[in-house]
């Protein structure tokens, strides 16, 4: 059972950059990403920070690195009773990046991602990191508004609606 819960960031205008990224992937790469999130990221969370899987980018932003296909991930981290979904299409190299933030009671906020194998240039990497930083700032602004609304209602942390 995962010890961390992945959640997808939704912008104020209803956009989901992470979901848009996953929709752009081939079936082969999507299944690899799904296995990586379930079996590696959700199971190990911040413990990955000193491994090849996770890089801290500062200010609460992290880069989750997926370099293996679903079969390889399942062999490394899965259980025999947790089979990988069947994959349509031919095998292909996997080099994916997911930008995320750990918060609250073991929640992983999935901000965005890209297929580094399609464009490994430093310029693309910098652009993707800058976008992820904007998404994280937007999420923090959403959280601040939510907390302020909770305080006005009297239902913030440690409070109840009745006074």
Q: Kindly report, residue by residue over 93-108, the tens digit of the pLDDT.
A: 999 999 999 999 899 9
Q: Is residue 162 in a domain?
A: no
3-state secondary structure of 23: helix
Q: Is residue 161 in a domain?
A: no
Question: How many structural domains does the chain have?
Answer: 1
pLDDT at 78: 78
Give the residue numbers spanning the domain of 130: 5-153
54, 19 Cβ separation under 8 angstroms: no
- Residues paired with residue 96 on neighbouring β-strands, in sequence order: 66, 115
Q: Is residue 127 in a domain?
A: yes
- pTM here? 0.88
């Amino acid at each position: 059972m995962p010890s961390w819960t992945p959640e997808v960031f939704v912008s104020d205008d209803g956009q989901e950059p992470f979901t848009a990224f996953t929709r752009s992937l081939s079936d082969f790469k999507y299944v690899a990403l799904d296995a990586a999130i379930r079996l590696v990221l959700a199971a190990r969370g911040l413990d990955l920070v000193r491994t090849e899987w996770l890089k801290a980018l500062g200010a609460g932003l992290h880069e989750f690195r997926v370099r293996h296909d679903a079969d390889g991930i399942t062999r490394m981290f899965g259980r025999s009773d947790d089979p990988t979904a069947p994959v349509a299409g031919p095998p292909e190299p996997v080099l994916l990046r997911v930008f995320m933030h750990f918060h609250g009671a073991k929640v992983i906020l999935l901000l965005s991602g890209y297929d580094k194998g399609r464009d490994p240039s430093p310029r693309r990497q910098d652009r993707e990191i800058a976008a992820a930083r904007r998404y994280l700032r937007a999420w923090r602004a959403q959280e601040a508004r939510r907390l302020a609304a909770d305080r006005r209602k009297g239902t913030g942390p440690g409070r109840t609606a009745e006074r």
